[in-house]
Amino acid sequence: MNQSALFDGLLTYVFFIPLLTFHEWAHAWVAWKCGDDTAYHQGRVTLNPIAHMELIGTVVLPLLGIFLSLSNSALAGFIIGWGRPVPVNISNLRSPRRDDTLVALAGPAINVLLAFALLALVNGFALAGVSGFADVGKLMAQLSLFLCFFNLLPIPPLDGSHVLKNAIGMSYETYWKLCQYGFIIVIVAINIPGVRKVVALATEATYLAMLGILQLR
């Protein structure tokens, strides 16, 4: 087993947890501010990662994917990770379709803000003559942007599907029927080269734009 690859995989997983935590917290916080306190009463408006983790989706499958990738198993490409979905009662929202869209976009938005903040820290440390944080900060920023654009795919139950649903006026009944097959569709879609390329290009373009704004290399 390649110990260096294993270390990189586990390090990426360690970075994934706080980024996912902020993502789910943002959904819960915006839902609360828009009138739905369901997630608030379930303890989801918190930055405690345990509140947002799911045993299978956040622990077992991501770690299994890391170990399978080390053995070059084709199954590794079919494994994805996720956090515990934030419960939202649409009927509690003050403006259901508008607020549902805001709740959906909150997660990706916080990932963009985190990426920029991380790169700003890299820049600050560099100006102070401290370079040790650079690689870590850049890797976390890229991972945060990947989470943003992956979740914006218009596939139920990903965040982008809520935006599309509300934009075209899809009924909630139809949407929830589609959600029954959502994760299967997500797994298939992320293994389509074109879908991966779109997510990768959006991630890279945004990352490079941020580097340019902050004058980082």
Distance CA 43, CA 108 (A): 21
Alpha helices in the chain, H assignment, sequence order: 3-33, 38-41, 61-70, 96-127, 134-151, 159-168, 172-179, 182-190, 193-214
Sequence length of the chain is 217
Preceding omega of 156 cis (within 30 degrees of 0): no
Q: What is the DSSP letter of 49?
A: G
Tell me which of 24, 54, 173, 204 is the catalytic residue.
Answer: 24
Tell me whether residue 173 is one of the annotated catalytic residues: no
Backbone angles phi, psi at 48, to 5 degrees: -75, 115
3 state SS of 129: coil
Q: What is the largest CA-CA distance in the chain?
A: 56
Q: Which residues are catalytic?
A: 24
